[in-house]
Amino acid sequence: MLGKVDSPSGLSKAGGNPFTEPMTDAEIADTIQAFATAAADAKRLGFDAIELHGAHGYLIDQFFWSGTNVRSDAWGGPTIGERGRFAAEILKAVRAAVGPDYPVIIRLSQWKQQEYTARLAETPKEMEAWLQPLADAGADIFHCSQRRFWEPEFEGSDLNFAGWAKKLTGAPTITVGSVGLSGEFIAAFGGEGSQPTSIDNVIGGLERGEYDMVGVGRALLQDPEWVTKIREGRSNELKAFERAALGTLY
């Protein structure tokens, strides 16, 4: 086994074998305080906001997901609301550390690096039970990560993850996931490129008020002038994404 690694239940994926010991109550308390200290330090150093990474199978997300959180104490449970306590306590501690007017963002995802098809919320009711306590605890903005932002989150509605998060909580949201490109980023790790695509559907969501901001990743890694080209209507000059851009800093 590896040395001690922070983990709710010592699992890296659903149904897997433990690779470390579950976090103790004391370790959980220390971790919550560490997030708060880091947030206060960021504010003191002049950052305009902080964002907690609660997505993609990282620590906070491991507590959310029933596949990696099988605890039977106060930090686990059968519902997403119960498993969300760790994130909520972090947000409360962060909010206390930075004050009421400092922007606090949390990034969230249904999918995990360990399981692309994982779902934390199968219905709008479950999503509300997941997100509302986080908003109540101090999250100002939800950064809603999808592999493909244009995909509806639930059957019977065109709203994506960010759209539903805003509808259910009233909080501002950020949408992200293959914006401006034809293919999703997981395929990029296998060497697959992506062609530039229209962002009319992104703009449409903004104009309809479904979400408030848009995150752009690979398109900017490939083409640092992407925003300028979009603003000036020079879409014919946009560059196709190639995997090599992941290892290059412009």
Name the token pair of 224: 């640092």
Residue pair 166/139 in contact (Cβ under 8 Å)? The answer is no
Query: pLDDT-derived band of residue 3, with 50, 70 and 90 as boundaries?
Result: low
Name the token pair of 52: 């907690």
Cα–Cα separations (whole angstroms), residue 185 to 43, 149, 155, 206:
32, 11, 24, 22
At 1 the pLDDT is 47
Residues 6 or more apart from 240 whose CB is under 8 A from it? 193, 194, 195, 196, 222
In tens, the pLDDT along 37-94 reads 999 999 999 999 999 999 999 999 999 999 999 999 999 999 999 999 999 999 999 9
Active site residues: 58
Q: Pick from 94, 95, 73, 61: which is nearest to 26 by CA?
A: 73
CATH number assigned to the domain with residue range 1-145, chosen from the 4 options 3.30.56.10, 1.10.275.10, 3.40.50.1820, 3.20.20.70 = 3.20.20.70
Determine phi and psi for 84, rounding to 5 degrees. Answer: -85, 0
Q: Where are the beta strands (DSSP E) in the chain?
A: 50-56, 104-112, 141-145, 173-176, 213-215
CATH 3.20.20.70 segments of the chain = 1-145
At 237 the pLDDT is 94
Confidence (pTM):
0.93
